[in-house]
Structure 1
Amino acid sequence: MTTPGPDLQEPQEQPPDPDAGVPVHRGDPPAEQRAMARSAAVVDRGHRDVLAVAGEERLSWLHLLLTQHVSELPPDTGTEALVLDGQGRVLHHMAVASTGDTVYLDTEAGDGAALLDYLQKMVFWSKVEPRDATAELAVYTVVGPDTPQVLAEAGLPVPAVPHGVLGLDGGGFVRRTPWPGRDAADVLVPRADAERWYAALTAAGARAAGTSAFEALRVESRAPRLRVDTDDRTIPHEVGWIGPAVHLTKGCYRGQETVARVANLGRPPRRLVLLHLDGGDEELPRTGDPVVRDGRPVGRVGTVVQHHELGPVALALLKRSVPVDAELTAGEGDRVSPVTIDPDSYEPDAERPPPGRTARGRLGGSS
């Protein structure tokens, strides 16, 4: 039985909104994006799930489960990390913050329960206590070059460097982040005080913004989002998580063999790129729609946004063999749009093979 071509496939339903429950915008999405790019804006991300891991062995225990090197994570430091399956495919992505006697993991809305279930099953005899802290802490994110001034004016501590973390009196913390935009900080505050802190941030000069503005700058930064820009086959190398969320020289975590093999002996089958959409006034492609070349699917659409300067753009996972100048379309049915790959988002393969493959060839192995 042959698979029908893209024009004959059943239309896909609109994927669920991953940001349901928080404001999409605050009245003027383009102005909110401009504030993030030129000054500062604050977005409510209080729908994110937050886990807390206490106990004297918390760092060494997490080191065995996560893809990032956290066993010697300095106090008041953050990072990103993943949990993989046995084949090296991404199951969970989280932001990490170590402060005081607790490590906090915040992740996508609805993902916390599965992640907590996995962590609790891996406790065994370790001296750790993972728990759900979503009801305790709400997440706001300040984005823009004026982020340090806004934090200081609002009475919040200002971490000096990206990934720096500083605790708050009464609970919570501020975590400086390298994306989206030129500067940003996650502010996790007690939910009982969330409205007060939000008012303080806006009074300090941060424009109120919605998730659509945050997503637009995230796409511009090419920072992937779990289950939006990834699918059930995604490995970290395909979406740029090697480095930010995966430490290549540590082992002892599930899926590590795949991570090392791809890094040393081969290249990932797909790459994450930025697409420029030529949709005009028509409906734009949706998350999960195919990207097509010469009548054949060669990838999938991830996050689709209207950017205040770039226009309609999207992240997409494409087969590695697709050249940067390929003629492509994205979408299905009435939302098919010609698309072009942004050349600045396309990292060509080095002429030399990966170092592991070269070494294996010297030893007489197959390449």
Structure 2
Amino acid sequence: MASRRDVYGAGRDLHLNIGTVSGGREPPSFTLPYDRSRPVFIQYLNPEVLACYGMSYQSIRSQQILRCSLQITRLAVLLTDASLVFPASYIFEVPHFSDFLREISPLMASGAITCVAPVIDLEEYRELKAEEYRKDSVNPYSSKVLHETERSMAWQPRMGSSSADIAALWESAFEKDGDFSGLTESVSARWSGRPDEIEELLHSVPRRLDGQAVVGRFVQKVIPVALSPRETIRINMLLSRAYLISYLRDLRANMLVDFDHSDLSCGMSPERDSFRFSLISARQFDLALQWMGIHGYVHYVATWHHLISLRSMPEFGELTLALFAHNAPVSLRSAVIRTRRTSDLENADNLAQAKRNICAVASQLC
């Protein structure tokens, strides 16, 4: 996925504690323990999150985003004994989402995918959201013919409110050393009125949205000063981070981050965000799959049913716990080395070989 250099550069320069594992960067942090009973929240299709990293569905790379998301889903389904969860908004806001659902239909049939919404009826949900996007130039909720697969998905109610949670984090961001430290002064330099006026305007942004969705493009319209690229990315990152925190907390979910193309954590970390969750490194997991000789099989050969079969193995669950539960893959690496001393770990090209590799490595765990 290509990134727009000005936006990505601004986000990179902010040093928002985004964890990665290569190129001299630090890996993401994990809150102990990593818990496979928690669902995994699908943030990697979210338009606002992707936009923070310079990626857009409006570009010619829309199909590439979809293909990449399907590869990530192969990893995500292996990292939980629960389901993958996504907000109902994706049905309306994510281009080609029907294609995505069609590609993962076996996961839906097995109950491994869950749609989260405040109401079970998607048409009622659409009407609620249409009001939030009433001033959007192209309201994604104005009209949409729902497909049968979208109507028949497993559903989970969500009682919390992202808007309320975002508003709370927005207010705290103006505190000393908060996410918006220096933002008021930066914007004030281009404001012709009194400094206290712009401060009040910035603090009251969520309230002045008057029920609109708290997303970057709406926020910028109620700020009476044009924002610089750096200011824009600071605001968009905070909004997306607050959104993700709200969902992870309400759903008691974990999240897969640290991909080859982007981090997609929006600066989240267990140290700064006061609740228990795990940010699971896709890079680290991919590396472990290579050690065990099942990387190619997982990404390019296995069917969705095969992946469900792999994740159901107690040995596979034990391997992921060894990899992530203490944020130290030493025990798994050592187990792979001991396995190679006694037998070859052939690169798996079928389910039986993948299971043999998994059992062989698991038997060497200390």
TM-score, structure 1 normalization:
0.27
Q: Larger RCO: Structure 1 or Structure 2 (Cα < 8 Å, ≥ 6 residues apart)?
A: 2
Q: More helix by proportion, 1 or 2?
A: 2
